[in-house]
Structure 1
Amino acid sequence: MRFFGSAAGVSAVLVLGGLSFPALAATYDFVPAPQTDLNRIYRIDRVTGEVSSCQYGLQEGTIGVTLCFTSGEGAGPQTPGEYGLVASRHEREGGVFRVNYRTGEMSICYVFDERVVCTPQATPSPAAPATPAPSATPSVRPGTGASPQRP
């Protein structure tokens, strides 16, 4: 077998071998909980939005265990999209935001009763058009030549 010494050669081998670069793309993203005294990390499937979580736990007579929490209510697969996790900067917050970068929808995910749960996804409503503030000076009718009257 001949080895290729360039990136182009490696690409050719991957494509010829039935693999392509998108197949090598990361399927999951990981974000730690912002709570500073909690050793929990959240995982999200970037396409389905499914969220799970793991953390370190003490267990007598061992070096410890990895405690994992599967997806529960609202944390399971969503409509396919482009999902990610965003941690707030609130140092006592144990949950994270699940965001859909395509739609702008967001929900909050956290561990509850040994499962990861998420609130329903929501999108902030668009801002209402601004209404002009009432003028502090009385208006003058055009063409009258009159000055504003004082009360």
Structure 2
Amino acid sequence: MEKLVRLVAASGLCIAAVGPAIAAPFEFAPAPQTDLNRVYRIDKATGEVGACQFQLKEGGVGMTICFAAGEGAGPQAPSDYQLVPSRHEREGGIFRVNIRTGEMSVCYVFDDKVVCTPQAK
């Protein structure tokens, strides 16, 4: 019985150790603009931001268009980042927030890349 208790306890420790490793590394949020079908993606650890949207293709099935990280949207100092859409119905951008430091920047698509303003408090 004692051997079984040790085995169950060890299994619990292994599962607990794996838990954080399988946590979702990305967060997704829509642009607040009501007539824009864009979704932003953020790497929660690095703050890197990208975006994708649907685009109709003439005479056929539509396609997904994605925008890579451009100026200011690449990896930042390691921390905990989130995306926060504003409530402005005509705003195509989104806020990138660092929940450890309180810094924010605004990210949006410009010239086929996602760009972000410098972080500020």
Larger Rg belongs to: 1
Of 28, 31, 35, which residue of structure 2 is paired with 1:30? 28
Instruction: Write the distance in 1 (CA, Å) between the matches of 2:60 and 2:76.
Output: 37
1:94 is matched with: 92
Instruction: Write the distance in 1 (CA, Å) between the matches of 2:36 and 2:11.
Output: 45
Of 60, 68, 71, which residue of structure 2 is paired with 1:70? 68
Instruction: Write the distance in 2 (CA, Å) between the matches of 1:81 and 1:68.
Output: 25
Instruction: Write the distance in 1 (CA, Å) between the matches of 2:67 and 2:13.
Output: 36
User: Greater RCO between the two (CA within 8 Å, min separation 6)?
Assistant: 2
1:15 is matched with: 14
List aligned pairs for 1:43-62, cutoff 5 A.
Answer: 43-62=41-60
2:119 is matched with: 121
Task: Provide structure 1 residue ranges, at least 5 long, that are not aligned to the other structure.
Answer: 1-8, 124-151
The 1:24/1:90 distance shift into structure 2, 3 A limit, reads: same
Task: Provide structure 2 residue ranges, at least 5 long, that are not aligned to the other structure.
Answer: 1-7
Matched length: 112
Q: How far is 1:12 from its partner?
A: 2.4
Of 94, 110, 113, which residue of structure 2 is paired with 1:112? 110
Identity %: 65
Three-state SS of the structure 2 residue aligned to 1:22 is helix
Three-state SS of the structure 2 residue aligned to 1:20 is helix
Which has a greater percent of helix? 2
TM-score relative to the length of structure 2:
0.87
Which ranges of 4 or more aligned residues in structure 1 deviate by more than 3 Å?
A: none
TM-score relative to the length of structure 1:
0.70
Which has a greater percent of strand? 2
Alignment root-mean-square deviation, CA: 1.8
